[in-house]
Amino acid sequence: MSRHEGPIAIAALVALALWIFIGLPIAYLPPQEHAGEFLGVKYGEWLIFLATAALVVATWELARGAEKTARQQLRAYLSVEEAKIESVADDRIKVRLTIKNAGQTPASGVSMRSALFVISNVEQEPPSLRAQSNCGVVAPGKTFSATYSWAPPPANAIKGLREGAPPVRLAGQIDYEDAFGRKQYTEFRLRSGLPGDRDLQYEEQRNEAS
């Protein structure tokens, strides 16, 4: 349940209680026991109308919240399952990324952009994301892989991968559309590890998704 659904559910229960314990008893009172009118309508009937309207609105909001929750649970979720350095040469670096759909419905119009760079501070902004691949559709539980090549590689990248410092970072973004026609994205930031380690690991920061 989302943070908005709790108050909505409480409002629906309050409206239902008003209807059952106040509205219905007033509706069955003998006509002579209704006291006073406003705009030609008895006070008791106004209360019945307001309680009914509140119940309708609260029920509609609760249904809308349930639909939103269902979409969140069923939609596609794309993320980087594996990032591996395929080759390191003096004039070229190749990285292979494997993307997985961990959701329960397909992702369509899948495209990915990335950039390889060397920075000393994780908070620094990466260069513009350029290297791109298009996959089309990724079914639930399935993966797709793409190999990116940087020639020439960024300054100090060869040293970082061969000696372990400075760390080489890979930033990227996956764009796609879920089964409900909504545009989604996943931003990721990976970094190199020990010398000779061909696996890129997630940074603790700068990872987010819609």
What residues does CATH 2.60.40.10 cover in the chain? 78-209
pLDDT score at 188: 95
Tell me which residue of 112, 108, 116, 87 sits closest to 98, measured CA to CA.
112
The DSSP secondary-structure symbol of 155 reads: T
Tokens 């006291």, residue? 35
Q: What is the pLDDT along the chain (210 residues), one digit of tens a residue?
A: 445 555 655 666 666 666 666 666 665 556 555 455 556 656 566 666 776 777 777 777 766 766 676 667 889 999 999 999 999 998 999 999 999 999 999 999 999 999 999 987 777 888 889 888 888 899 999 999 999 999 999 989 999 998 888 899 999 999 999 998 999 999 999 999 888 889 999 998 778 888
Token pair recorded at residue 155: 């300054």
CATH number of the structural domain 78-209: 2.60.40.10
| DSSP strands (E only) in 6-162 | 37-38, 41-42, 78-89, 92-101, 107-118, 131-138, 143-150
